[in-house]
């Protein structure tokens, strides 16, 4: 479980996060949704420790991030896995070497066991035929899957995904969403996903936090999402005409 | 508040001066312009100094982070070997070509410009050798390599930064400065003496080819010239200088790449800044090292 307590962050007098408090539960896919520029990525970067919040605290299973020393932070980081928006695979390494990288850096397994583990992770995400290929030689969807394989290679307790579906077609997006959900349940992880894709929200939204202009506007799950009377949330959710028509049809039936 | 107080003070000084001189308007105007100019210059100086201090501080912190014990020695040595090949061995070709031609041109220029009949012919070889050893093979070569190696390092690290590869490593708990920058610095610093020695050899060879294929100087006179009054310390001096220059090139370029942000355009800017500032620092340290090592 990850608990956020009154997080504030500003850049050059511009308040990006204005006192966000919430709980991301273990074994669930927790979604942060909101418009572009609402502060989702900054929030995620604060949670993983890439940015220091101005005030407030982040609690990882009763361990406060603000009071951790360097050693404790390094240990915590070995428990984190992150999937970046652009996959962030290392260009100079093959897909297998990308997955092997965290194992080589932090695992005490033998070399053959590390390779076995990397191959297992790649097989798990369906990339059993891309071991020796380089990131530039595979599609966007395959890159995302490779990044997921790298993120889970060290058996993390917490998985963070920054817009996992950006730049993917709807079918591949669904596959990636399903993969993230399966992995979350399989490894009992606390997964936090940053998205503005409504398909993902409908598929995975077990716990949803809606952020508007740096403030937490609404919190709930995917069932509650469509019955909410929050105007800003409804403007965001029903912005797509296609989505609006589809929900109208369901309600009529 | 402060601005109003400063303006009041300025006005008071102007009035006092005009009262003393008697010539009211001219003195007042001249004094105010001078004050404004001084203020503007002070602000420029202050901004420049602040920016300089900021760069020096950030560079020092980055170097502190870089020069720590590698998390995995095996990976560090592997990376260093890759960097030796990429930054060092791949620069060998351009070093040899430039040195060969520069040696040849230098020999021709010196021969054609020596008009004094009292100077012996072997002076050509002697001057070529000393110029190559003292300046060309360390300073000029490093200035050329600052363009090739410096832009390579800063654009590579800058691209890693903007494509979030460095962030991905940091999330894992990797000391990114140590993992990415240290192998580059150590690889280039280790290989530069070899490049310098090759450059010396090729430069002298270029001069020999001139003596062989033209009638400007005979080969035996040229060889006598390059052997005459040889100071072995010049070779070590050149190597010491090049090692320091190699450190400047690799660390300054890494610094600009590491702190790049934005898009492709910003990586280009970082690359340009890396080359320009490395070159300036090389020239500055060239003066300092020459003073320390030769006088």
> Could you give the CA distance from residue B120 to residue B229 in angstroms, rounded to a whole number?
14
Q: Between B71, B159, B167, which is nearest A84 by CB?
A: B167
> Could you give the CA distance from residue B137 to residue B119 in angstroms, rounded to a whole number?
26
Together in a domain, A241 and A175 = yes
Number of domains, chain A? 2
Neighbours of B144 (CB within 10 A): 19
Phi first, then psi: what are they for A15, rounded to 5°? -75, 115
Neighbours of B42 (CB within 10 A): 10
Q: Report residue B7 CA to chain centroid gap.
A: 44
Q: Between A49, A82, A106, which is nearest B168 by CB?
A: A82
Contact B90/A at CB under 8 A: no
Q: Between A78, A84, A85, which is nearest B173 by CB?
A: A78
Together in a domain, A133 and A119 = yes
* Residue where a domain stops, chosen among A139, A154, A169: A154
Together in a domain, A45 and A31 = yes
> Could you give the CA distance from residue A6 to residue A55 in angstroms, rounded to a whole number?
7
pTM of structure: 0.83
Together in a domain, A56 and A164 = yes
pLDDT per residue of chain A (253 residues) written in tens, 0 to 9: 899 999 999 998 889 999 999 999 988 889 999 888 888 889 999 998 889 999 999 999 988 988 888 888 888 888 899 998 888 999 999 999 999 999 999 888 999 999 999 999 999 888 888 889 999 999 988 998 899 999 989 889 999 998 888 878 888 888 888 888 888 888 889 999 998 888 888 888 888 999 999 899 889 888 888 788 888 888 887 776 666 676 666 666 6
Inter-chain residue contact A105 with B168, CB threshold 8 Å: no
Using the predicted structure, report yes or no on whether residue B199 has a pLDDT greater than 90: yes
Residue B81 to residues B130, B157, B247, Cα–Cα distance (Å): 33, 18, 17
Domain holding A141, by residue range, is: 90-154
Neighbours of B106 (CB within 10 A): 21
Chain A residues with beta carbon closer than 8 angstroms to that of B168: 82, 84, 88, 90
pLDDT at B190: 96
Using the predicted structure, report yes or no on whether residue B18 has a pLDDT greater than 60: no
> Could you give the CA distance from residue A240 to residue B82 in angstroms, rounded to a whole number?
51
Minimum CA–CA partner of B164 in chain A: A88
DSSP annotation string for B8-45? HHHHHHHHHHHHHHS-HHHHHHHHHHHHHHHHHHHHHH
Together in a domain, A11 and A117 = no
Which CATH number is A169's domain given?
A: 3.40.50.300
ipTM higher than the 0.90 cut? no
Phi first, then psi: what are they for B119, rounded to 5°? -75, 130
pLDDT at B104: 95
DSSP annotation string for A115-167? HHHHHHHHHHTT-TT-TT--GGGS-HHHHHHHHHHHHHTT--SEEEEESTTTT
Inter-chain residue contact A50 with B167, CB threshold 8 Å: yes
- Which of A52, A85, A88 is the best residue to mutate to test the B interface, defined by the most B CB atoms within 10 Å of its own CB? A88
Q: Between B71, B75, B163, which is nearest A88 by CB?
A: B163
Chain A residues with beta carbon closer than 8 angstroms to that of B174: 105
pLDDT at B27: 59
Using the predicted structure, report yes or no on whether residue B20 has a pLDDT greater than 60: no
Minimum CA–CA partner of B174 in chain A: A105
Torsion-angle region of B130 (φ positive above 0: left; ψ -120 to 50: alpha; else: beta): alpha
Using the predicted structure, report yes or no on whether residue B262 has a pLDDT greater than 80: yes
* Residue where a domain stops, chosen among A130, A154, A178: A154
Together in a domain, A163 and A38 = yes
Together in a domain, A169 and A247 = yes
Chain A residues with beta carbon closer than 8 angstroms to that of B165: 88-91
Torsion-angle region of A194 (φ positive above 0: left; ψ -120 to 50: alpha; else: beta): beta
């Amino acid at each position: 479980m990850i608990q956020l307590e009154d997080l504030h962050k500003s850049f050059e007098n511009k308040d990006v996060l204005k006192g966000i408090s919430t709980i991301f539960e273990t074994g669930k896919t927790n979604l942060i949704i909101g418009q572009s520029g609402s502060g989702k990525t900054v929030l995620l970067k604060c949670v993983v420790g890439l940015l220091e919040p101005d005030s407030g605290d982040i609690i990882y299973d009763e361990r406060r991030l603000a009071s951790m020393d360097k050693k404790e932070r390094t240990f915590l980081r070995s428990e984190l896995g992150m999937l970046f928006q652009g996959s962030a695979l290392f260009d100079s390494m093959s897909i297998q070497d990308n997955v092997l990288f965290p194992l080589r850096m932090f695992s005490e397994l033998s070399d053959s066991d590390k390779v076995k583990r990397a191959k297992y992770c790649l097989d798990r995400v369906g990339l059993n035929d891309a071991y020796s290929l380089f990131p530039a030689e595979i599609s966007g969807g395959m890159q995302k899957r490779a990044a997921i394989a790298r993120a889970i290679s060290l058996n993390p307790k917490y998985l963070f995904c920054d817009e996992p579906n950006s730049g993917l077609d709807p079918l591949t997006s669904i596959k990636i969403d399903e993969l993230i959900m399966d992995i979350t349940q399989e490894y009992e992880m606390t997964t936090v996903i940053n998205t503005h894709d409504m398909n993902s929200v409908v598929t995975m939204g077990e716990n949803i936090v809606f952020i508007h202009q740096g403030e937490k506007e609404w919190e709930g799950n995917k069932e509650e999402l469509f019955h909410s009377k929050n105007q800003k949330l409804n403007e965001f959710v029903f912005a797509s005409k296609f989505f609006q028509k589809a929900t109208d049809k369901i309600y009529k039936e | 508040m402060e601005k109003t107080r400063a303006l009041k003070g300025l006005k008071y000084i102007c009035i006092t001066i005009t009262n003393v001189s008697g010539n009211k308007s001219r003195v007042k105007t001249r004094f105010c312009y001078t004050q404004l100019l001084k203020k503007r210059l002070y602000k420029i100086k202050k901004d420049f100094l602040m920016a300089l201090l900021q760069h020096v501080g950030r560079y020092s912190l980055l170097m502190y982070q870089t020069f720590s014990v590698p998390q995995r020695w095996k990976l560090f040595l592997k990376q260093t070997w890759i960097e030796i090949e990429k930054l060092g061995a791949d620069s060998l070709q351009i070093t040899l070509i430039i040195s060969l031609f520069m040696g040849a041109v230098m020999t021709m220029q010196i021969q054609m410009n020596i008009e004094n009949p009292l100077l012996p012919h072997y002076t050509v070889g002697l001057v070529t050798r000393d110029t190559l050893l003292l300046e060309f093979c360390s300073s000029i070569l490093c200035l050329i390599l600052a363009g090739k190696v410096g832009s390579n390092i800063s654009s590579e690290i800058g691209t890693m930064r903007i494509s979030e590869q460095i962030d991905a490593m940091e999330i894992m708990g990797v000391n990114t400065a140590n993992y990415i920058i240290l192998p580059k610095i150590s690889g280039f610093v280790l290989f530069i003496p070899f490049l310098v020695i090759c450059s010396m050899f090729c430069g002298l060879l270029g001069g020999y080819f001139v003596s062989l294929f033209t009638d400007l100087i005979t080969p035996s006179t040229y060889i006598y010239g390059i052997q005459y009054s040889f100071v072995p310390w010049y070779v070590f001096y050149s190597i010491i200088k090049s090692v320091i220059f190699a450190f400047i090139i690799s660390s300054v370029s890494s610094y600009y790449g590491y702190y790049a942000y934005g898009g492709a355009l910003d990586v280009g800017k970082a690359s340009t800044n890396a080359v320009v500032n490395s070159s300036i620092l090389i020239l500055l340290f060239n003066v300092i090292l020459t003073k320390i090592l030769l006088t």
